[in-house]
Structure 1
Amino acid sequence: MKSAPPPREVLPWNRFGDASRELAQVVVDSGWMPDLVIAVARGGLIPAGAIAYALGVKAMGTMNVEFYTDVEETLPEPQVLPPMLDTSVLAGAKVLVVDDVADSGRTLEVVMRLLRTGTTPGAGPHTVTPAPEHLPAEARSAVLYTKPQSVIEPDYTWRSTDRWIAFPWSSLPPVTATANTEA
């Protein structure tokens, strides 16, 4: 017998825009402003773009990290994947790292350790660590959701929940070819 799916929190597209702006407002109200926004791909791509627009920050980068392979299924350790961020642009910058959720927090922990110290054990065979002279002046993190079991407390969070989150960009399966395709 198949077990029931975990309880879900649904973030619809029409609420996502408000959530992103509210999270950006929390950052602004803290008195700190980033020079650069880094998205943790893939889940953080859309929130990072929305938050960067709301903050008026045009400089953006991406760190590709794989950890979750399915609902409640992960790799043994988060893996930083190519293409790699050009770390030379980080030197002396104030960097805001954005992801959709700090669930276990292990992905965000890997990214933040990499940006704060230039090291990250177990981050994958392709990881390029920034040279000490390329480290940002300061790196902070922002997520839409934080879960109670997260091993890292993000600097900025929109909401806390213990539920599985259905994000509008990842709640449907990937698009596949239709059986009736005509050229």
Structure 2
Amino acid sequence: MSERTPFDDGATTTTGEDREVLGWEQFGGFSRELARDIVASGWMPDLVIAVARGGLLPAGALAYALGVKAMGTLNVEFYTGVGETLPEPVVLPPLMDTSELPGHKVLVVDDVADSGKTLALVMDMIRAKGLPVDADRDGTVESSAPVDARSAVIYAKSASIIDPDYVWRHTDRWINFPWSTLPPVTEE
């Protein structure tokens, strides 16, 4: 799969706090580069799943760059603040409808594989256990659907317990993403 030079600063910058800063312009470049790597691998997804919230914008950008219109979202909570996490990641409702996924290729996208726990949870859920299937759409999970899935992230860190299939950059710095650097407006 694809990798850039480990721990390469590339087009990103750092602040006095030794942080990786991804700007909107670099964000657009990442999505095209990573999409080219995915296409070059010979594997093409039928569906892109975003790991919310951090993976929402990267997943959308990759889906556009790959020409994939089918998208889904899995909501996972792990980080509660800068460097603060729950003991383990937790999947939050609502669960996406996965009844049509068996036999399809799925690209799971997140912003960063930091500890890798969130991405590992999602990939295990999709590959090993399968995605929950509510075939009659009554709110009851009747079965699970194993799926041919690969993962893509903007950044991967050396401490990650999972090696994503597609990585744009490696870093061990805290990352400032353009969509999450400022506090919520409710705190202003």
TM-score (norm 1): 0.85
Question: Displacement, 1:169?
Answer: 0.3
Matched to 1:39, the amino acid is A
Q: Name the SS for the 2:185 alignment partner.
A: coil
Q: Name the SS for the 1:87 alignment partner.
A: coil
Q: CA contact under 8 A between 1:88 and 1:130: conserved in structure 2?
A: no
Q: CA contact under 8 A between 2:130 and 2:146: conserved in structure 1?
A: no
Question: Displacement, 1:131?
Answer: 2.5
Question: Displacement, 1:91?
Answer: 1.0
> CA separation in 2, counterparts of 1:174 and 1:23?
29
> CA separation in 2, counterparts of 1:170 and 1:21?
21
Q: 1:6 to 1:65 in 2, by over 3 A?
A: farther
The reply on whether 1:40 has 2:36 as its aligned counterpart is no
Report Cα offsets for 1:113-136 as digits up to 9, x if no partner. 00001179xxxxxxx97834x222
Q: Which residue of 1 aligns with 2:3?
A: none
Moved over 3 A (4+): none
Q: Name the SS for the 1:88 alignment partner.
A: coil
Q: 1:170-181 alignment to 2 at 5 Å?
A: 170-176=180-186
Report Cα offsets for 1:127-163 as digits up to 9, x if no partner. x97834x222x10000000000000000000000000
Tell me the number of residue pairs that the alignment of Structure 1 and Structure 2 aligns. Answer: 165
Question: Displacement, 1:7?
Answer: 2.0
TM-score (norm 2): 0.83
Q: Which residue of 2 aligns with 1:93?
A: 104
The sequence identity of aligned pairs, in percent, is 67
Q: Which residue of 2 aligns with 1:160?
A: 170
Matched to 1:165, the amino acid is I
Q: Which residue of 2 aligns with 1:53?
A: 64
Question: Displacement, 1:47?
Answer: 0.2
Q: 1:53-132 alignment to 2 at 5 Å?
A: 53-118=64-129, 131-132=143-144
Question: Displacement, 1:37?
Answer: 0.2
> CA separation in 2, counterparts of 1:118 and 1:131?
10
Q: 1:166 to 1:177 in 2, by over 3 A?
A: closer
> CA separation in 2, counterparts of 1:129 and 1:78?
21
